[in-house]
Amino acid sequence: MEKHSINKDKLKFVLKRSEEDIMTVAVKGVTFGDGNIKFIAGPCAVESKESILKIAELVKKDGADVLRGGAFKPRTSPYDFQGIGQKGLDYLAEAGEKFGLPTVSEITDKQMLPYFENIDVLQIGAKNMQNYELLKAVGRTDKPILLKRGFSNSIEELLLSAEYIANEGNCKIILCERGIRTFEKATRNTFDISAIALLKKISRLPVVADPSHATGVSELVAPVALAAAAVKVDGIMTEVHDEPSMALCDGEQALTPAEFKIMAEKAKEISRIVR
């Protein structure tokens, strides 16, 4: 009898068959799930070519493995900055290429797939975790997928969404815990650390933590990132901006490159201790 209450009947692919049954996901030369913690860093949104080139250079120097940046931003309000669209993907790809960083960006519609040709990892955002047509479409590509947990979705539902992708043939899936919605309003979301511990126990897939969207408060990002490292997360994704107060979105939760560097160094140490 399992002590947790995940219904295993419909989970054909994502569950571990044995303790050794671990899948790694390689993105260019960066392997998630290989036992060494990885760092995804970059702005919430690609704001301009100059800005993403500058941030890419800084985060590369400070220990990032993968460069992030949204081009199509699914914002809660239609009046908020929506991202710069297709050219944002081109700038992100150029910055990644220049500084030797694989790239990840969020796709919100399957019709946009051609725009993502030069992006290495397709992100499915929290708001689209149950967009099943999108999941099936990215499941028919051969690009790694960063699948974020919806803010009102259970762990079982996250795993079922991963099944949708795998069922189409794409097994290169990285799960992401980014906080869930609770009664608590003091932080942007409530970081579900037990979800990471449980996913690492039962699932074969690498797991990444996003303490930026989980907390919404830059001062809380590093401590929560370190907590994720302590439960053996495979990677940490943080929003980083060279001038957080000027960011076009999510500046209040962005780390400076210097803060990112310190967090990453500490997280690596913790990760080594717990392995």
Of the candidate residues 42, 83, 125, 144, the single one contacting ligand PEP (CB under 6 A): 125
Regarding 88 and contact with ligand PEP (CB under 6 A), the answer is no
Regarding 44 and contact with ligand PEP (CB under 6 A), the answer is yes
Q: Which partner, Mn ion, ligand PEP, none, binds residue 206 by CB below 5 to 8 Å per kind?
A: none
Q: Give the number of residues in contact with ligand PEP, rule: CB under 6 A.
A: 10
Which two tokens mark 25?
A: 């996901």
| Cα 27 to Cα 19: distance, rounded to the nearest angstrom | 24
Q: What is the DSSP track for 47-93? A: --HHHHHHHHHHHHHTT-SEEE-BSS---SSTTS----THHHHHHHH
Of the candidate residues 60, 148, 172, 188, the single one contacting ligand PEP (CB under 6 A): 148
Contact mark string toward Mn ion, 235..254, x via CB under 5 A = ---------------x----
The backbone torsions φ and ψ at residue 52, rounded to the nearest 5 degrees and listed phi first, read -75, -30
To ligand PEP, the closest distance from the beta carbon of 53 in angstroms equals 19
Residue 168: how many CB atoms within 10 A of its CB?
15
Contacts of 249 (CB under 8 A, 6+ apart): 44, 45, 70, 73, 75, 80, 81
In this chain, which stretch among 34-42, 51-59, 81-89, 120-128 interacts with ligand PEP, using CB under 6 A? 120-128
Q: Are 175 and 188 in contact (CB under 8 A)?
A: no
Query: Could you say which DSSP state residue 116 is in?
Result: G
CB nearer to ligand PEP: pick between 105 and 203: 105
Q: Are 57 and 99 in contact (CB under 8 A)?
A: yes
Which two tokens mark 188?
A: 């942007």
| Cα 183 to Cα 168: distance, rounded to the nearest angstrom | 36
Which two tokens mark 253?
A: 């939760």
Of the candidate residues 38, 200, 204, 213, the single one contacting ligand PEP (CB under 6 A): 213
Instruction: Looking at residues 33 to 92 of the shown chain, list those that interact with Mn ion (rule: CB under 5 A).
Output: 44
To ligand PEP, the closest distance from the beta carbon of 80 in angstroms equals 12
Q: Which partner, Mn ion, ligand PEP, none, binds residue 148 by CB below 5 to 8 Å per kind?
A: ligand PEP
Regarding 165 and contact with Mn ion (CB under 5 A), the answer is no
Q: Which residue is nearest to ligand PEP (CB)?
A: 125
Of the candidate residues 178, 188, 200, 204, the single one contacting ligand PEP (CB under 6 A): 178
CB nearer to ligand PEP: pick between 200 and 213: 213
Regarding 106 and contact with ligand PEP (CB under 6 A), the answer is yes
Which two tokens mark 52?
A: 């993403």
Regarding 192 and contact with ligand PEP (CB under 6 A), the answer is no
To Mn ion, the closest distance from the beta carbon of 45 in angstroms equals 7
| Cα 170 to Cα 159: distance, rounded to the nearest angstrom | 14
Of the candidate residues 52, 101, 126, 270, the single one contacting ligand PEP (CB under 6 A): 126
Count of CA atoms in the C-beta half-sphere (13 A) of 118: 13
Chain contacts with ligand PEP (rule: CB under 6 A): 44, 70, 106, 125-127, 148, 178, 210, 213
Chain contacts with Mn ion (rule: CB under 5 A): 44, 250
